[in-house]
Amino acid sequence: MKTIIYWFRNDLRLEDNLGFAQACSDADYLLPVVIHDPQTTCLTAWGFERVGHHRQQFLNDAIKDLKSQLQQAGSALCVFHGKPAQIFLELANKLGDIVVYCQQIEAPEEKAQIKEIQDSGILVKDFWQSSMLDPADLPFALDCMPDVFTTFRQRIEAAKLKYAMPIGVPKQIPRLPTGMRDVALADAEPLNTTAVYFEGGESKARQHIEQYFERRLPDTYKQTRNQLMGKDYSSKFSPWLALGCCSARSIAHRLASYEQQHGANDGTYWLWFELLWRDYFEFLPFKYGARLFYAKGLSDKPISPTNPRLFNQWASGQTPDAFINAGMTELSQTGFLSNRMRQIVASYWIYDMGGDWRAGAAWFESQLIDYDVYSNQGNWLYIAGRGTDPRGGRPFNVAKQAREHDPNETYRKKWLE
């Protein structure tokens, strides 16, 4: 009899979850688990929480939703706090031989978690399932992928790749191991939901994606995507994508069916184009590995020491620049920021305040409900000129950006008055 533990990481969904589907077909007994590792919830080197309250809230919502979906399907979810290796050892002591199935995450801390579990003698099978494209379909080997995004995109377009086909929810979930039913059904902690902008979870992701397409918002996406205010200027898929409450493949599949029904246009193409950026950042670690996480990134540029006083000014929205302050206030009050404002405030921190890009990236990690290791690291490196950008950095002229994107100061008034 085979007992599998399915460890949900950033794939908090049942639909189009390759690892979970495989676990369902391989197991006689299946225990679904989520683990809060204290390493990911401690303080950063800059002294603030790694997971701020908006992000924690969104995660709680997503776990609550997953738990209820598993229960409806006759299974359950165990929520543990501790080091994954330690927890799996304890489960192995209780349940006998176990195999852990989970999502593959190509980032140093997440890889170290897997190594520690394997070193303790437990078998792990991990599954790559977070990108829109299947790495096996790409017209190049991942360790030789083009550095420049435009070349990457052109090679994919020439090969006519759009997305890998999503799979459904498993028809049947194997029963829980004997003795685990009560543990799995107990509520480990009260999970409250008072989200400001969005609520986490696969059900909410489905609703949000569906209303976005039903209201035909893809048609105007290209014109509105650089705006700063409101719910509809961009898709807002990112919070659910970050925790894997939906897969990039299912969004791409929904987009393709939308194009069949209503016709392709600039907006639908641009949405796909942005999802391709996401894949690009997901694939880069296969080429550069831990180097993407070095202080200097891929460059030789020296690191500026962080002045804590300036950092606090930036993070709390008390710089001499009102436009920056509005952005940083929106971020801390809601856990979200438009792509345009992310670029502007990141550039200001690096180039106008002379700060260490890693402190800025860590603040985003703490605050953003859509925090994603690949996209956050990739975009910060890009702006700092420490990644693969051929232009060697993206300093923004903040005054010019404010004139273009907030000509009547509506955004500044909203967040500062």
Ligand X SMILES: Cc1cc2nc3c(=O)[nH]c(=O)nc-3n(C[C@H](O)[C@H](O)[C@H](O)COP(=O)(O)OP(=O)(O)OC[C@H]3O[C@@H](n4cnc5c(N)ncnc54)[C@H](O)[C@@H]3O)c2cc1C
DSSP 185: H
Q: Which is nearer to ligand X, 3 or 130 (CB)?
A: 130
Name the minimum Å distance from CB 225 to ligand X: 5
Q: Which stretches of 107-201 are DSSP H helices?
A: 108-119, 149-158, 181-185
Tell me if 32 sits within 8 A of 70, measured CB to CB.
Answer: yes
Start-to-end CA span in the chain (Å): 63
Name the minimum Å distance from CB 103 to ligand X: 16
- Judge whether 29 is annotated as a binding position: no
Sign of the four-CA dihedral 11, 12, 15, 17: positive
- Judge whether 274 is annotated as a binding position: yes
Binding residues for ligand X, rule: CB under 6 A, are 225, 234-238, 241-242, 271, 274-275, 277-278, 281, 338-339, 342-343, 346, 364, 368, 370-372, 375-376, 379-380, 383
Name the minimum Å distance from CB 186 to ligand X: 32
Q: Which is nearer to ligand X, 36 or 340 (CB)?
A: 340
**Cα separation, 34 vs 30, whole angstroms:** 13
- Judge whether 235 is annotated as a binding position: yes
Q: Which is nearer to ligand X, 29 or 128 (CB)?
A: 128
- Judge whether 175 is annotated as a binding position: no
- Please list, in sequence order, all residues whose beta carbon lies within 8 angstroms of the beta carbon of residue 146, skipping any fewer than 6 positions away: 140, 152, 155
Name the minimum Å distance from CB 47 to ligand X: 20
Q: Which is nearer to ligand X, 5 or 383 (CB)?
A: 383
Name the minimum Å distance from CB 347 to ligand X: 9
- Judge whether 371 is annotated as a binding position: yes
Tell me if 213 sits within 8 A of 73, measured CB to CB.
Answer: no
- Judge whether 278 is annotated as a binding position: yes
Six token digits for residue 258: 């939308």
DSSP 75: -
Name the minimum Å distance from CB 236 to ligand X: 4
- Starting at the earlier edge strand, list the strands of the sheet with 98-103: 78-81, 29-36, 3-8, 98-103, 123-127
- Judge whether 275 is annotated as a binding position: yes
Q: Which is nearer to ligand X, 266 or 274 (CB)?
A: 274
**Cα separation, 267 vs 225, whole angstroms:** 9
Q: Which is nearer to ligand X, 29 or 286 (CB)?
A: 286
Question: How far are the Cα atoms of 6, 11, 92, 121, 169 from residue 99, in angstroms, in the given order?
Answer: 9, 18, 9, 10, 21
If 0-12 CB within 10 Å is exposed, 13-18 middle and 19+ buried, where does residue 9 land?
Answer: buried
- Judge whether 272 is annotated as a binding position: no
Name the minimum Å distance from CB 371 to ligand X: 4
- Judge whether 281 is annotated as a binding position: yes
> Taking the mean position of all CA atoms in its chain, how far away is CA 137?
23
Q: Which is nearer to ligand X, 241 or 328 (CB)?
A: 241
Q: Which is nearer to ligand X, 29 or 293 (CB)?
A: 293
- Judge whether 372 is annotated as a binding position: yes
**Cα separation, 208 vs 225, whole angstroms:** 17
Name the minimum Å distance from CB 145 to ligand X: 15
Tell me if 24 sits within 8 A of 16, measured CB to CB.
Answer: no
**Cα separation, 100 vs 125, whole angstroms:** 6
Annotated binding site: 221, 234-238, 274-281, 370-372
Annotated binding site for FAD: 221, 234-238, 274-281, 370-372
